[in-house]
Amino acid sequence: MILILVRHGKSVANVNKILSNDLDKYPLTEEGFQQASFTARELKKLKITKLYTSPILRAYQTATIIGEELGQIPVVDGRLRERDLGELNNTSIEGDHWKLRLMRREIEARGLENWETLKRRMANFAESVTEEEAVVAVSHYDPIRAFVSHMIGVEDDVSLWGVSIPNASMTVALYGKERRLLTIGAPVLLPTVLSKLDLKTKLESQ
């Protein structure tokens, strides 16, 4: 099975540097809509059999744009939702990244979803869709990084510090008998990646 995790396009929360896991706040910006449209056209290079999305507005808007391009109706799956931010929800952290400040104990984050739980729910989602041929799932920064963490065996968030997932990027994985990452946070699907995915699809259809 081919699994393509797409981060939502740029949202109002991204622009204003607001942390939020609320369902109905912070829609896509105009740039975010354009990013989602570009990614949708990239995904059209593949035969996608199912489209899933986080229920959070910025992800659902992204998935709707992708769905219109692919002729797919997005299926909402709560496992793709944003990380539960606990008491950091709807806050704006000035200065250094909030995770660095958390490590230094400069701020507290009661109720923050722990990394292992995040990895587990993303892995659970992937396991549940292995019968599909090619799946697109629209999610968020930390959930996608948690999936990468699961795939490469990195234990914690901090040890994955250098891995970035830009808005509207694509993280592509083979997730069946063979399990490996082909891209992490890629802006486009290069011919080298497409050739591997095309071969994988042909082999599975035989």
Q: Which of 8, 121, 150, 200 is catalytic?
A: 8
Q: Among this protein's residues, is 97 annotated catalytic?
A: no
Residue 140's contacts (CB-CB under 8 Å, 6 or more residues apart) are 7, 8, 54, 56, 59, 80, 81, 82, 83
Q: Among this protein's residues, is 150 annotated catalytic?
A: no
C-alpha–C-alpha distance, residues 194 and 145, integer Å: 22
Residue 6 has which token pair? 């797409």
**Residue 82 phi/psi, 5° resolution?**
-60, 155
> Three-state DSSP class for 152?
helix
C-alpha–C-alpha distance, residues 9 and 23, integer Å: 16
Residue 147 has which token pair? 């999936």
Half-sphere exposure of 163 (CA within 13 A, CB side): 20
Residue 122, H or E segment: helix 115-128
- Buried b or exposed e, range 53-82, using 16+ CB within 10 angstroms: bbebbbbbbbbbbbbebbebebeebebbbb
Q: Which of 7, 140, 145, 150 is catalytic?
A: 140
Q: What residues are annotated to the active site?
A: 8, 140
